[in-house]
Amino acid sequence: MVKEINLEASSDKEFFMIHGYTGSPTDFGSLPKYLHKEFGANVRVMLLKGHGTKIKDLDDINYRDLVEQIETALVEDLKRGRKIILIGICFGAQIALYLSTKYHVEGVIAISPPYRWKFPFNIFGISLLGLFKKYWKKPTKNYEREKRKRLGDKHYDCMHCKGLKISKKAGKEIGKRIRKIDCPCLVIFSIRDNLGHYKSADTIIEKISSKIKRKILLDEKIHNLFYSPSDKRLKKEIEAFILKENLFNRHKKTKKNIAAIIPTYNESERIGKVLEVLLKAKYINEIIIIDDGSSDDTEKVVWEFMKDNKKIKFIKNKKNIGKGASMNLGVATTKAEIIFFCDADLIDFSPDIVEGIITPVKCGLTDMFIGLRKNFMQRAVHLVAVNSGERAMRREIWDSLPSYFKKRYRVEAGLNHFVKKHRKGFDYKTFDYSQPTKERKYGFWNGFILRNWMNLDVGIAYLQSMIDNAFKKT
């Protein structure tokens, strides 16, 4: 049975490679060993489910099975702190492009991704032919057959009827998110590819948001270019792109500073416990408290902690300016690359919760991660839950957030909308902690008024989000 390729190196660099549908790790020919040697990098070429055995083993494999397998492996390697360049061929190139819309990778190299199909594969309803014939013989050239035999290639010599349907599904998923590709991107195609149209390269390059993008067109009749006469040139072009754009070193390998920012107002009874947690939590380099004009002993409590902890900063507003504006003031006082926001009145908060919220952002798994509380309303209503105040994000997210969302209680709903629509998106998880209700803190009537004032602000944020969706292009 064919196995995945794992070439280990004493480095944090990694090439994460995805083979084609009905292909195998040998789809890339000698490229894995070549890149391993030239860059001193780890190389991982997965073996997809249903591959490397018999073509019939693909009968029960669907698109989601393959994506989940690949995505799980990528997340594992990102959590290991790897700098990853995605490389895919055909269907694997589609998935590489898709994953680069979700995760922060150093670059993506897509070889022959069929974003647009060639005749007859672009005919509406062509997939229905699978009802009459399940497997189709692959057209191969003598040069390709000889080289595959010489290299001991292990791929299916037939195409599966589900392949076109699965690949078109991948194309639709990319289309929904393609503008979120902001990493360096290289697209390679043959103008005589017999499956995908070479103008796929133009379409992809035109739509992605990356400032570093390049296409290379070759003149070969073979779909898998690693088994064509252009194989050596292909490897050199890939190497040249990586070196020219300095992909593995675009981001300096420095410790990412992380700042915890706490907007607070009259929380002298509770803020001390939150500070105790943050001082014990991993990753936090500085703690910034923005006191929004409190009239209680909040300042006194914080100063007691500041006596022995230089990483705590305290700012007090002369007058109440609102939660969003206080958060913005806190960000302005730090140069941290990652921002962790949390409220000052949390119950059962712990260092593990802080770490659980920060880690996905620190590892590049998401732009923003939200900690959901166990309060009744947050458990009952998802829309309320994702407006939680405990969240970590890349600083660029906050700096890019429109100012109309940085007011009072609009901020969480505004962030959710902005990150989902204009960046790679956010993730969340429910943790075992909570927050006292406003009615409990301020009395029934005062709390009731404050809660509805907050809900009005959130409603304004949702209305502004709807306007943004209607009138602004993605």
What pLDDT does residue 322 have? 84
Q: 10 Å Cβ neighbour count for 14?
A: 27
- Between residues 286 and 380, which one has the greater pLDDT? 286
**What is the DSSP pairing of strand 338-341 with strand 312-316?**
unpaired
Given 215, 249, 283, the domain boundary residue is: 249
SS3 435: coil
Kindly tell me the sign of the dihedral angle through the C-alpha atoms of 410, 414, 416, 417. Answer: positive
Nearby residues of 289 by Cβ (< 8 Å), 6 or more positions away? 262, 264, 271, 275, 302, 312, 313, 314, 315, 344
- Tell me the residue ranges of DSSP E strands in 19-82: 42-45
Find how far residue 422's CA is from the centre of its chain. 13
Angle in degrees, CA 72, 74, 80, rounded to 5: 110
Q: How far apart are the first and last CA of the chain?
A: 45
- Between residues 256 and 227, which one has the greater pLDDT? 227
The pTM (predicted TM-score) of the whole model is 0.81
What pLDDT does residue 250 have? 78
Percentage with pLDDT > 90 across the chain: 42
Torsion, Cα of 21, 27, 31, 35 (10° steps): 40
Cis peptide before 360 (omega within 30 of 0): no
Q: How confident is the model at residue 453 (pLDDT cuts 50, 70, 90)?
A: low
Rg (CA), the chain: 26
For residue 453, the enclosing domain spans: 258-471
Assess whether 160 and 61 both reside in one domain: yes
Rounded Cα distance, 261 and 337, in Å: 13
Assess whether 264 and 227 both reside in one domain: no
Nearby residues of 61 by Cβ (< 8 Å), 6 or more positions away? 49, 50, 162
SS3 100: helix
Instruction: Tell me the per-residue pLDDT of 168-184, one tens digit each, with 9 for 90 and over.
Output: 888 889 989 999 999 99
Q: 10 Å Cβ neighbour count for 256?
A: 15
Tell me if 415 sits within 8 A of 391, measured CB to CB.
yes
Given 249, 276, 308, the domain boundary residue is: 249
Assess whether 79 and 211 both reside in one domain: yes
What pLDDT does residue 130 have? 57
Assess whether 390 and 348 both reside in one domain: yes
Tell me if 88 sits within 8 A of 18, measured CB to CB.
yes
**Residue-level length of the chain:** 474
Q: How confident is the model at residue 134 (pLDDT cuts 50, 70, 90)?
A: low
Given 249, 269, 302, the domain boundary residue is: 249
Give me 69's structure tokens: 């397998």
Q: How confident is the model at residue 132 (pLDDT cuts 50, 70, 90)?
A: low
Assess whether 338 and 191 both reside in one domain: no
Assess whether 19 and 163 both reside in one domain: yes
Place of tokens 């009952």: 380
Find how far residue 333's CA is from the centre of its chain. 27
What pLDDT does residue 474 have? 41
What pLDDT does residue 455 have? 59
Which range among 30-39, 134-143, 388-397 shows the weakest confidence by mean pLDDT? 134-143
* φ, ψ at 106 (rounded to 5°): -75, -25
Assess whether 391 and 422 both reside in one domain: yes
Rounded Cα distance, 128 and 136, in Å: 13
pLDDT at 74 over 70: yes
Instruction: Tell me the per-residue pLDDT of 109-124, one tens digit each, with 9 for 90 and over.
Output: 999 888 776 665 666 6
Q: How confident is the model at residue 249 (pLDDT cuts 50, 70, 90)?
A: confident
Rounded Cα distance, 311 and 290, in Å: 14
Which range among 80-84, 218-222, 346-350 shows the weakest confidence by mean pLDDT? 218-222
Assess whether 266 and 414 both reside in one domain: yes
Nearby residues of 434 by Cβ (< 8 Å), 6 or more positions away? 346, 347, 348, 373, 374, 375
Rounded Cα distance, 430 and 361, in Å: 16
Assess whether 264 and 244 both reside in one domain: no
What pLDDT does residue 258 have? 94
Assess whether 293 and 394 both reside in one domain: yes
Assess whether 245 and 262 both reside in one domain: no
Rounded Cα distance, 421 and 179, in Å: 10
Q: How confident is the model at residue 6 (pLDDT cuts 50, 70, 90)?
A: very high
What pLDDT does residue 452 have? 53
Residue of 339, 337, 181, 184 whose CA lies nearest to 250: 184
Tell me if 170 sits within 8 A of 101, measured CB to CB.
no
pLDDT at 278 over 70: yes
pLDDT at 359 over 90: yes
Place of tokens 């993605």: 474
Residue of 418, 362, 413, 361 whose CA lies nearest to 386: 413
- Number of helices followed by number of strands (H, E) in the chain: 17, 16
Instruction: Tell me the per-residue pLDDT of 11-51, one tens digit each, with 9 for 90 and over.
Output: 999 999 999 888 888 888 889 999 999 999 999 999 998 88
Assess whether 193 and 316 both reside in one domain: no
Rounded Cα distance, 261 and 277, in Å: 13
Q: Which 8-state DSSP code applies to residue 245? A: T
- Tell me the residue ranges of DSSP E strands in 211-360: 213-218, 258-264, 286-291, 312-316, 338-341
- How many structural domains comprise the chain? 2
What pLDDT does residue 334 have? 93
Find how far residue 60's CA is from the centre of its chain. 28
Q: Which helix (H) or strand (E) holds 31?
A: helix 31-39
Average pLDDT for 309-338: 90
Percentage with pLDDT > 70 across the chain: 78
Q: 10 Å Cβ neighbour count for 45?
A: 23
* CATH of residue 326: 3.90.550.10
- Between residues 405 and 186, which one has the greater pLDDT? 186
Average pLDDT for 411-421: 84
* CATH of residue 201: 3.40.50.1820
